Amino acid sequence: MTDHLLQEDSKHSRYQLPESTQRPSKVAKIKGEDFTDDAAAEQDEGEEERKLVEKNMNPNPRLQRYLVAIEYIGTRFSGAQQQSNCRTVVGVLEEAFQKFIGHPVSIFCSSRTDAGVHALSNVCHVDVERISKRKPGEVLPPHEPSVVKRAVNHFLQKNDGDMMVIDVRCVPFDFHARYKAQERTYFYRLSTGKEPLSTFEKDRAWHVPEELDLLAMQKACKILVGRHDFSSFRAAACQAKSPIRNLDELTVTEVGSCPYFPTIREREQGNFAAEDSFSLSNRSKIDPCVSGSFNQLNVQNSDGEVSQGFGIRKRNRCFVVTARARSFLYHQVRLLVGVLKAVGTGDLTVPDVERILKVKTVTAASPMAPACGLYLGHVKYDLPSDA
């Protein structure tokens, strides 16, 4: 978000996170916009959209609006929104577009992710007027979306390569990436176990040394799903007019560690499956790969204990929290994950979650999860069929 930091409540001061994952202490307005985590309340969005359409009743017919989906590594940006003297998602993307078309553009994101938050697919829109470089002033037909994708990626890859355009399409001029979004899905990765994070997962997940009780976390999710006053899961700097949100989905799922490579047992299973007459009988002799045993080669050491073979990293268990809603409050997802983690470790009980929700104050919630494990996964639209 901004490079200012949100001061943490004194009640939580004993839960200090690493420097790179501290809560922001202050969130400033930039260009007059408020920084709710993703979007304003639904009723506010309708009014904003109406004003936007009225403002654009007579658009420049030479402009083409593109809807652009991007992925990026959040730890390399100071958030999504444009800021002075900071490297941001919007700033880097605008620079790539300017190099492509030869003049400045303004880009508007569907979700203004914080510093450190990744995106599997964030969506923005941009208006482009294609002007001839050979004959200045001559307006040419708009580029095809495939050309825009290829050209912008060319310049992005020359600029550290930590962002990529994954999809582009033409949309009507009144189509707004933020206000037309019907749903946003976030994922949060937790790696649990005594082993430190793999080099390949550094700044990509939250490492929790304790074991997590998956069943307890799933029970807690059921309490939080639905339409509630989420004041207890709303950072102090949130400027949304209403704390009411409808949380359509909140789930916890155990998944394979990342990056994932098949174990010896899995490779053997695949080989046996390719055989004809012996496939079923041979496969039954091999134990299925169980959760938490990814990449493990079990051998006995001199003490008779089962251990990994030399040079085989012991894999932590990995969990993904999925949160889906039309819009979220500022830091809502990270505060939700913080409470779910506390339930998983036994620091909170399932009834505690219900109490925290009802008390309607953020000081009752557990310290929020660090940004590095959060991913904006998908933004859903009702796209025009002729786009």
Contact of 213 with 343, CB cutoff 8 Å:
yes
Tell me the CB-side half-sphere exposure of residue 363, using CA atoms within 13 A.
5
Closest Cα to residue 250, out of 337, 365, 354? 337
DSSP 8-class letter at 135: S
Q: Write the burial class of residue 81 (CB in 10 Å: 0-12 exposed, 13-18 middle, 19+ buried).
A: buried
Other C-beta atoms closer than 10 Å to the C-beta of 153 total 19
What are the angstrom distances between the C-alpha of 384 and each of 58, 146, 172, 174? 20, 18, 8, 12
CB of 347 closer than 8 Å to CB of 366: yes
Q: Which of 118, 131, 21 is nearest to 375 (CA)?
A: 118
CA dihedral defined by 241, 246, 251, 256, rounded to 10 degrees?
A: -60
Single out the catalytic residue among 37, 38, 114, 162.
114
**Residue 102 Ramachandran class (φ > 0 left, ψ -120 to 50 alpha, else beta):** left
* Residue from 17, 53, 37 nearest 374 by CA: 37
Query: Please, how many CA atoms are within 13 Å of residue 348, restricted to the half-sphere of its CB?
Result: 24
Give backbone dihedrals phi and psi of 163, rounded to 5 degrees, phi first.
-145, 145
Q: Active site includes 114? A: yes
Which residue in the block uniquely carries the two structure tokens 């996170």?
17
Residues 6+ apart with CB under 8 A from 54: none
CA distance 195 to 316: 6
Nearest of 98, 81, 102 to residue 90 by alpha carbon: 81
Q: Which residues are catalytic?
A: 114
